[in-house]
Amino acid sequence: MTVEKIDVLSFVITGAERLDPVRVMIENYEPGKGRITITCYGKAWTAAWFAMGGDDVQTFIKRVSNDYLIDNFDPQLRSTVDDDNDANLLFVKSEIIKLRREREIDAVQAREMWDEAENADDVKESCCCLGIGNKLLNLFGDDPWYADWPTIPNPKYQ
């Protein structure tokens, strides 16, 4: 086993409005290779790059986009999240109206779908889940999860 001493640039950012102190640790292994770790409020994010075009980490993170950095620090974080049930209800109703105008569903089917949508606690679940929905299951075809459901910006992404 080998233990090596490495140089780490470490600093704390304080005084940001509504934000706990942010600790940043930067390790530049050699030109074009390095790692950054950021901690705040008990959470930590880390990313490493081994082909930064000869840049150090500080220069590299200034050069790349915020979206690129976010994707490296938290690949599961989406820029948008599902909107609420009211927005989903409007979306479903507009689809029912569209299908009715295109004569893909008749008046009885449209009324049944409309009533089920209005009475659903979670209209998206009623459209997508076999155990929950009934008439709404056929509204968006075979893969209702991939319909263009309403979204809002994710506050954790901003």
**DSSP for 10-47, written as a single string:** EEEE---TT---EEEEEEEEETTEEEEEEEETTEEEEE
Instruction: Tell whether 42 and 67 lie within a shared domain.
Output: yes
**pLDDT confidence of residue 89:** 95
Average pLDDT value for residue range 3-11: 90
Residue 29's pLDDT band (cuts 50, 70, 90): very high
- On whether residue 1 sits in a domain, the answer given is no
18 vs 102 pLDDT, higher one: 102
Q: How many CA atoms lie within 13 A of 55 on its CB side?
A: 15
Residue % of the chain over a pLDDT of 90? 73
How far apart are alpha carbons 61 and 55 in whole angstroms? Answer: 9
Instruction: Tell whether 72 and 133 lie within a shared domain.
Output: no
**pLDDT confidence of residue 78:** 85
24 bridge partner residues: 11, 38
Q: What would you report as the CA-atom Rg of the chain, rounded to the nearest whole angstrom?
A: 24
Tens of pLDDT, residues 86-142: 999 999 999 999 999 999 999 999 999 999 999 999 999 999 988 776 889 889 888
- Residues counted in the chain: 158
- On whether residue 58 sits in a domain, the answer given is yes
Residues 6+ apart with CB under 8 A from 92: 113, 117, 123, 127, 136, 139
- Domain count for the chain, please give it: 2
Instruction: Tell whether 94 and 64 lie within a shared domain.
Output: no
Q: Domain boundary residue among 32, 52, 77?
A: 77
- On whether residue 118 sits in a domain, the answer given is yes
**pLDDT confidence of residue 133:** 66
36 bridge partner residues: 26, 47
**pLDDT confidence of residue 109:** 94
- On whether residue 86 sits in a domain, the answer given is yes
How far apart are alpha carbons 92 and 98 in whole angstroms? Answer: 10
26 bridge partner residues: 9, 36
Q: Domain boundary residue among 26, 52, 77?
A: 77
* Structural domain containing residue 50: 9-77
Residues 6+ apart with CB under 8 A from 123: 85, 88, 89, 92, 117, 136
Tens of pLDDT, residues 44-81: 999 999 999 999 999 999 999 998 998 999 888 888 88
Instruction: Tell whether 57 and 87 lie within a shared domain.
Output: no
- On whether residue 112 sits in a domain, the answer given is yes
- On whether residue 36 sits in a domain, the answer given is yes
Give SS3 for 149.
Answer: coil
